[in-house]
Structure 1
Amino acid sequence: MPMLQHFLLAFATFGSALAAGSYPSLKVRNAGVPVGQFKNVSGIQIYHSYPPGRNTSAKAILHVTDIYGVPLLENQLLADSIASNDYLVIMPDLFAGDAVSDAEQEAGLNLTDWRALHPMSEIDRIINTTIAYMRSELGVEKIGGVGYCFGGKYVPRFLTASGGIDAGFIAHPSSLTEGEISSVKGPLSMAAGTLDTAFNATAKVRAEAILNTNNVTFQSNLYFAAPHGFAVRPNQSIPQQAYAKQASFIQAVTWFDSWL
């Protein structure tokens, strides 16, 4: 069977199983009304999405977003989707109300200037504060970290011996360095797309080699015809992109079910 036909058959079978309800909690939400709540914690607006029937959990997920941040509907629905699998999900505003909007992108926002307003030291501070809140006030014992695009750099930064994250998943990370990969100690799952120039197949292979050399538990998937941002904002009318978002969501949840 040709590769494309094999892919489409696998996609159709997978989609049919989801439609039939075989994996009801593993269906990522792409539309609808978010169910989480915003709370101000030490001056940081944090989106809380709760597991079914509870507002606490010994295991929780720290959601480190892309540049569109907590206001983005897809980010809130993604947090809610993870929470429906029995995890408390905590998603902090990394940009103090200055997340990038589509309107700013269309107007030609200078991302270099924007990034300078949100240096790594400040993002690290917000994540550290959020982790401390999760441990002390929410009573979380194990923390998983999901990082998308911009956030994909920061999950590895805290998946170290003393960073505070116990297991991680990243999708199409941007600006992730080999040094940051080398410092990873906890289990890490990675999702890459063949059309993503920020974290291409070569970078993925290099990251795998580093993790393997360091004897770190890892897993990675490469999604065909998936561009940067596919795990958050794909073009749902393109089957390969819709599949990549759904499959990478399952990849993340099943990773935490095994290693968190």
Structure 2
Amino acid sequence: MSCPNCVRGVVLPGEPEGTMRTDLDAYLASPNKSGDQWTPSTHAVVLLTDIFGLKLVNCKIMADRFSRELGCDVWVPNIFDPEAPVGVDELELPDRAGVKMSWGAIFRLVWIAATRLPTVLRNTPTKASARAEQFIERIRSDYKYTGVGAVGYCFGGSVVYKIASTSLVETAVVAHPGGFSDEQVKAIRVPISWALAEDDHGIPQKKADQAEALFAERKGKEGYVDYEFKVYPGTAHGFAARPNLAVPEVKAGYEGAFEQAVGWFKKTLTT
């Protein structure tokens, strides 16, 4: 697992409206589906989940909303083998900025990682990235999408680093992703939008500033890509994927990060 705070969460209200595609081991939200009839859209977005994977309904509810607002297909593939290593029943309420993990929560994280070591090792960001790449290659081939965007949350954000360094997607969004190296940032070759928490030990402000500086260094040079960084006050890691909507700052951050992603895709991905 990429970070302790990945093992925290709150379930969003609502019920999924899309379809589980067992042939692709993925959830599909589409504006062009009526009953059993479905016509692929011209463009698509692939949502890459946090460490809870498809077990947590949030990713499906968010995919439905993205599909409505963008008017395109939104896919949520299972990027784990065989499934996410953390169950929904192991959730804890997310922290707002300034609230730290208790020693009990840290001990539980260590216990989960130790007792599920084989599963954890099968599901590193590198291995999950390979699965995500294969999935995107397949849907581009099967459904002839002329453009694909990727949005990744927490663990899924770490997966996006690798995908954004390929030609598989035209644009990307990451929300409170896992840690990164300078080399990973320098390798990104598509426009990318960052939605960050005020309080995230994985990406503290200094680290975020460092990444932004690396993008700024490319201006006027070959390899420059459009980018943006936004930090949401009062939020902690996980706010954009599993928010505690009862906390005003967290709710505002969740809504802000969602609309940030929508705006980015409307700007960089013709839907």
Scaled by the length of structure 2, the TM-score of the pair is 0.79
Structure 1 segment 44-59 matched on structure 2, within 5 A: 44-51=24-31, 55-59=39-43
User: Over aligned residues, Cα RMSD in angstroms?
Assistant: 2.0
Q: Which has the higher contact order (CA 8 A, sep 6+)?
A: 2
**Number of the residue aligned with 1:40:** 22
Question: Which amino acid counterpart does residue 98 of structure 1 have in structure 2?
Answer: E
Quick check: 1:75 aligned with 2:79?
Answer: no
Deviation at residue 223 of structure 1 after TM alignment: 0.5
| Distance (whole Å) between structure 2 residues aligned to residue 168 and residue 208 of structure 1 | 15
Quick check: 1:132 aligned with 2:137?
Answer: yes
**Number of the residue aligned with 2:211:** 207
CA contact (8 A) 2:81 2:123 kept: no
The alignment-based identity, stated in percent, is 26
Match of 2:49 among 46, 58, 65: 65
Aligned residues: 229
**Number of the residue aligned with 2:232:** 223
| Distance (whole Å) between structure 1 residues aligned to residue 210 and residue 226 of structure 2 | 15
| Distance (whole Å) between structure 2 residues aligned to residue 101 and residue 210 of structure 1 | 36
Unaligned residue ranges in structure 1 (runs of 5+) = 1-28
Question: Which amino acid counterpart does residue 92 of structure 1 have in structure 2?
Answer: P
Q: What is the DSSP-based 3-state SS (H/G/I as helix, E as strand, rest coil) of the residue aligned with 1:48?
A: strand
**Number of the residue aligned with 2:72:** 87
Deviation at residue 212 of structure 1 after TM alignment: 1.4
Deviation at residue 105 of structure 1 after TM alignment: 5.8
Deviation at residue 40 of structure 1 after TM alignment: 2.8
**Number of the residue aligned with 1:232:** 241
Quick check: 1:111 aligned with 2:113?
Answer: yes
Match of 1:101 among 65, 87, 99: 87
Q: What is the DSSP-based 3-state SS (H/G/I as helix, E as strand, rest coil) of the residue aligned with 1:70?
A: helix
| Distance (whole Å) between structure 2 residues aligned to residue 94 and residue 125 of structure 1 | 9
Deviations 1:150-175 (CA, angstroms, capped at 9, x unpaired)? 01112121112x34111000000013
Deviations 1:170-198 (CA, angstroms, capped at 9, x unpaired)? 00001322211110111000011111111
| Distance (whole Å) between structure 1 residues aligned to residue 137 and residue 256 of structure 2 | 31
CA contact (8 A) 1:69 1:95 kept: yes
Deviations 1:67-86 (CA, angstroms, capped at 9, x unpaired)? 01012111110111111121
| Distance (whole Å) between structure 2 residues aligned to residue 255 and residue 123 of structure 1 | 24
CA contact (8 A) 2:125 2:155 kept: no
CA contact (8 A) 1:52 1:84 kept: no
| Distance (whole Å) between structure 1 residues aligned to residue 80 and residue 127 of structure 2 | 9
Deviation at residue 111 of structure 1 after TM alignment: 3.1
**Number of the residue aligned with 1:194:** 198
| Distance (whole Å) between structure 1 residues aligned to residue 203 and residue 125 of structure 2 | 19
Deviation at residue 50 of structure 1 after TM alignment: 0.5
Moved more, 182-191 or 207-216: 207-216
| Distance (whole Å) between structure 1 residues aligned to residue 251 and residue 125 of structure 2 | 31
Question: Which amino acid counterpart does residue 266 of structure 2 have in structure 1?
Answer: D
Unaligned residue ranges in structure 2 (runs of 5+) = 1-10, 93-107, 219-223
Deviation at residue 216 of structure 1 after TM alignment: 2.0
CA contact (8 A) 2:129 2:160 kept: no
| Distance (whole Å) between structure 2 residues aligned to residue 218 and residue 181 of structure 1 | 11
Task: Label 1:238 to 1:52 Cα distance change in 2 as closer, same or farther (>3 A).
Answer: farther
Q: What is the DSSP-based 3-state SS (H/G/I as helix, E as strand, rest coil) of the residue aligned with 2:236?
A: coil
Deviation at residue 135 of structure 1 after TM alignment: 0.8
Deviation at residue 104 of structure 1 after TM alignment: 4.3
Structure 1 segment 245-260 matched on structure 2, within 5 A: 245-260=254-269
Quick check: 1:166 aligned with 2:175?
Answer: no
Deviations 1:4-57 (CA, angstroms, capped at 9, x unpaired)? xxxxxxxxxxxxxxxxxxxxxxxxx9421101111134xx51111102556311
